[in-house]
Each structure stands twice: as structure tokens, then as C-alpha cells.
Structure 1
């Protein structure tokens, strides 16, 4: 599998996001060339807001496996799950990462087939480690199921490394709760997502106050 997996994304969503960015660039260029007055400034600000929304919902989200763990990049927040506490990856309506009793959901990697979602939800009732056919042909697997299998394999490979194995043993010990760190999952707000939404909204407010 190589030293590290590539980021896992939803190609259709990213294509839609970049397509919208291109459309907005064309529209703003048209406003700059032919528009005038307050209405053009307001329209341009609204278009910039839609670019921020496209970035947050379509372009930003991904799942990033690293040497230390897996990072779930969702629209407004990022969750990092170290391999030492990673226990399972499965799919219901979305890809889910389990860390003991905690379950973290990935925004971009979704199951779109309703019948499949219902089957996944039924199977998930048996617990996070319900039986899966790990020997299935990858060509026959749905993309999100294949991503979950790759993450399970990556976690198993990483946990075999001495440093990760020692961290996993420490995580299993009963100790007083500590601040989130490399040995436990952590979720934080994403500054770039907040800026992508906040900056154009601020621009629109300024334009509305000045016109």
C-alpha cells in the first residue's frame, strides 16, 4: 500500500465545487466589465459567499490517513484519530471511524444507494466489528466500502509498528482524563473554513453599510 495512503475524497463533489468556482469567476469578471453601482457590489459579494460555501461543503472535506493517524476533514471541523486508538472503520450512510466507544462520521465519503444504507444500518446493529468479507474483489466493492477496508488495513499495518503499539498499550491503561493529545481523538474548529465563510459575509455587510 506504500508508506501512506492518499487522501480519500468524493470526486463528484470536488468536480461540482471546482465547476462552480469557474462559473463564479466568469460571473464576477462580467460584473467587473459591465456592471456598475451598488447592485454589482452586492451581487459580487453574494457570489463570493457561494464560493465559500462550495469550498466548505465540496472542496474541503476529505479523509487524510497519515503516519500518526487518520484525519477527518469535515465542513467546519477536523477530527484526528490516532492509529493507537483506532478500532474500526465501517459504512452506514457515511464512512465512520471508531475509537473505542467513540464514533466519528466523515462528511465526504457517503453511501448514496438507499437499499445499501438500510442494509448497512441493519448490520451496524451487530456492533462496529460486524463480519465483513475482507477477501472481496476490490473491483466489486462500492467506493466507500473500499475506503473503509483500506483504512482498516492501514490501521492494522500502523499498529504493528513499535511506537504505535506502545501507545495503544498505554491508551488501554486506566488513567485520569487528560487534555486531548496524540494518544486520543481530538476535534477542532477549522480556521480556513470559518475564514472562507466569514470573510465574504463580512464583505457583504460592509458593502450594505456603505451603499
Structure 2
């Protein structure tokens, strides 16, 4: 399953990066003095913001689980912990009582928000929403993404390796214990970490701007 992205965000992000590149090229040709250095550092900061807000965010299904790549942090939800995916104002991934929101995949219609909140109050639904019978071609992109995640979760959970992981997560005696030397094994619980590339994209130009301001 391919990564799920926001096409509009990608267009905005790459468009602004192109503008920044042209402005930096113009500064390199005609700019001079401290003001040009400050302007260049500010432009790099805006390029970092465009990367963090528009280019970086995505939802990445993998063999082990789904990774929610948000502006500053990444959340990984293994299929053994995945219980549902739905849409309110954004795509949400449920892992039991925990709910993780995806930055790039959004739903703007107020009626859709009210509908999903009402359905959430009605109680939990089955993993696969097979009763709707909706034609994928008629579904909005974010709703279709949530449906595909549910289908992918069902397919992955049927895999023997993922069934074993789910049993291990439920408690002892339910599955074979994991090899303690297997450091590459996928986690059984959702994890959230800070993203080094996002911090670098913002921190490096800010540091550069601070250095320029101190030296001028």
C-alpha cells in the first residue's frame, strides 16, 4: 500500500521551495552585506516550515504497522494494536483507547464531522466497515484512506506473524515469547518519537539566523 499524502500540501510545499530557491539565487547575484545574510536565513527558515508542514507529513502503511508522519513527531501503530480508522476533521487511527491524529489527511466538511462524531457516540464498529457498500469511486479521499487502512489492517492481522504479535501483546501464554536478541522486532504498542529531520529543518536555519544577527 502506497504512502497516503495530501496532494494540495505537496503542491504548496514544492511551490514555496521553488520560490525560495529563486529568491536565494537572486540574493547570491545581487545581494550584499548583512541584510542579505539575514534575508537568506529567513528564507531558509520559511523553506524549513514548508517542509515540516506540507512536504514531510504523510501516512505510511508498512508490513508491521502504520506510521503517522506529522510535522514534528512520528507515531507508529503496529497492526496488532490497530483497532479502527475514521475521519472527523482529520484521519484518526485508533489503538484501543488511544487515538492518534494524522496531520496531512483532513476532512473539511462540517456535516462529515458531525456525522462521524455521532457514529462514534453510537459505540465501536467492526474492524471492516462492510455494511456501507459504498463505491470507492464515490468516496472522498480521506474517507477512502481510512477504509483502505482498515482493509490493510484486516489483511495484515490475518498474517501468522502479526497474529503472534497480537497474542504476545494480549498477555503471557498466548503466543511464543519473542527472541530477546531480535532488536529489529516491531513493537507491540504504539510509539511516538520526535523527528530528527523536522527538528533539523527548523533548527539549522534558526541557528544560522542567530549567528548572523550576533555577528552583524
Q: TM-score, normalised by structure 2?
A: 0.89
Residues 1:28 and 2:28 are matched in the alignment: no
Aligned-partner SS, 1:64:
strand
Determine the structure 2 residue equivalent to 1:6: 2
Distance 2:76 2:115 in 1: 28
Residues 1:108 and 2:113 are matched in the alignment: no
How many residues end up aligned between the 2 structures?
202
Distance 1:120 1:196 in 2: 35
Which structure 2 residues correspond to residues 1-211 of structure 1 after superposition, within 5 A?
Answer: 5-129=1-125, 132=129, 133-173=131-171, 182-211=187-216
Distance 2:124 2:68 in 1: 18
- Post-superposition offset of 1:126: 2.2
Q: TM-score, normalised by structure 1?
A: 0.91
Q: Structure 1: any 5+ residue segments left out of the alignment?
A: 176-180
Aligned-partner SS, 1:71:
strand
Distance 2:163 2:172 in 1: 17
Determine the structure 1 residue equivalent to 2:177: none
RMSD: 1.6
Distance 1:174 1:148 in 2: 32
Determine the structure 1 residue equivalent to 2:182: none
Distance 2:124 2:87 in 1: 10
Distance 2:209 2:164 in 1: 52
